[in-house]
Amino acid sequence: MNFLETFRVSLEAIMSNKVRSGLTMLGVIIGVMAVILLVSIGEGARVYITRELSGLGTNLLIITPGKTTTSGGFHPPSAGTVRKLSYDDAQALKRRAWLLTDAVPIVFGTGRIKFQNLGRDTTIIGTTPEFQRVRNLFNDKGSYVTQADVDSKGKIVVLGTKVKEELFGDQNPLGKVVLLSDARYRVVGVMRKKGTSLGWDIDDVVFIPVTSGQELFDTDGLFEILASTPRVEDVDNAITQIKDILIRRHAHKEDFTIQTQGAILSTMNTIFGVLTAVLGGIAGISLLVGGIGIMNIMLVSVRERTREIGIRKALGARNRDIMAQFMIEAMTLSGVGGIIGILIGVGLALIIPEFVDVLPTSISAWTIITAFSFSAAVGVFFGVYPAHKASLQDPIQALRYE
């Protein structure tokens, strides 16, 4: 008995009870659909985060004060600091760590900026001119923080576009005086519009010289030093170099932490990979339930068709012919269910981001192939037992079965 013939017989059995076959398939359809949809959402989140982070540059190094043993993730600024990082540390790195293109000292915090009767709470970043190059943020009008401003603790401020719009509207802000936590600062520039990244509005920020920032936040340390290498391959050597220089300056103690953008990226990748796996696993359970539905129906079907099995055996069907007939029936149910599930799952994954902004989705061929193989495997796995049971029917008993 060839495959095509067996397939025809199985198809005939499926079509002869459309409602039941449809409901059986529904279990698999929902399972496959859930797998594809949830994995797409998990993948979408991962791809989104990865793209945003690598957009900042994977050749970036972040040096924070305090020693932590974790290899990535975010830390609250200055947590558990033993010895602060100083402006001089940054200068030393800039002078002596030749593998680094930049070493940018940074202080930051939130504060209130006021112009006439308008005020706004915003992020204040104290930094040096190199910040622009490292983070790829440039000013649109006027100028940025200059080295002279840093050296002289100049009371100048560069506004993010959102801050500018809120406080000045259509007016030209250049040369105007604003109050930053009650200190008078002169506006010298406005940044180029950048939008939101990782939930942080890059336009809702103001820049001041790092030295002025230390005064403003009343600290003599830095919150972090942002460094960059010309090439990603130099990152590891640069870390060694930074350690050498800083440990010597810090009384032979490694009381700082160097994070690389790459490490953060891979941590994020891992976190979202796990998230995706968990989502997929949960959806996989529903696929498993669908498979049990198939087994259930196949067992009923075998029982119902006991007599048919007996007749076929009497007429010369071998055990494996009967086995194949029921296996193909189960696999067709799960296979067709799988295909329909893929179509609906992919369709929803494409439609959902159109309506829900916060749910980016990413459909990969890999997801589809896995979901389909899994559903086919479910068909095989849950089809084997009923089919085996069918094939072992004693023809005499089966023929007598009413």
Residues of this chain that interact with other proteins (CB under 8 A) are 1-2, 5, 9, 12-13, 16, 307-308, 310-321, 395-396, 399
Q: Which is nearer to other proteins, 13 or 205 (CB)?
A: 13
CB of 387 to other proteins, least distance (A): 16
Q: Which is nearer to other proteins, 48 or 401 (CB)?
A: 401
* Contact in structure between 299 and 387 (CB atoms under 8 Å): no
- Count other C-beta atoms under 10 Å from residue 349's C-beta: 23
CB of 33 to other proteins, least distance (A): 32
Q: Which is nearer to other proteins, 361 or 391 (CB)?
A: 391
CB of 346 to other proteins, least distance (A): 35
Q: Report how far apart, in Å, the C-alpha atoms of 30 and of each of 40, 100, 144, 222, 330 are.
A: 15, 53, 56, 54, 17
Of 337, 329, 346, residue with least CA distance to 290: 337
Q: Which is nearer to other proteins, 11 or 376 (CB)?
A: 11
Q: Which is nearer to other proteins, 244 or 304 (CB)?
A: 304
Strands 177-180 and 224-228: unpaired
CB of 18 to other proteins, least distance (A): 13
Distance in angstroms (rounded) separating the CA atoms of residues 207 and 209? 7
Of 307, 277, 324, residue with least CA distance to 41: 277
Phi, psi at residue 113, to the nearest 5°?
-110, 130
Q: Report how far apart, in Å, the C-alpha atoms of 268 and of each of 40, 265, 277 are.
A: 17, 5, 14
Of 322, 388, 386, 298, residue with least CA distance to 28: 298
CB of 311 to other proteins, least distance (A): 5
Helices (H), 16-61: 18-55
Q: Which is nearer to other proteins, 149 or 329 (CB)?
A: 329
CB of 309 to other proteins, least distance (A): 11
CB of 4 to other proteins, least distance (A): 9
Q: Which is nearer to other proteins, 242 or 309 (CB)?
A: 309
Burial class (CB in 10 A: 0-12, 13-18, 19+), 155: middle
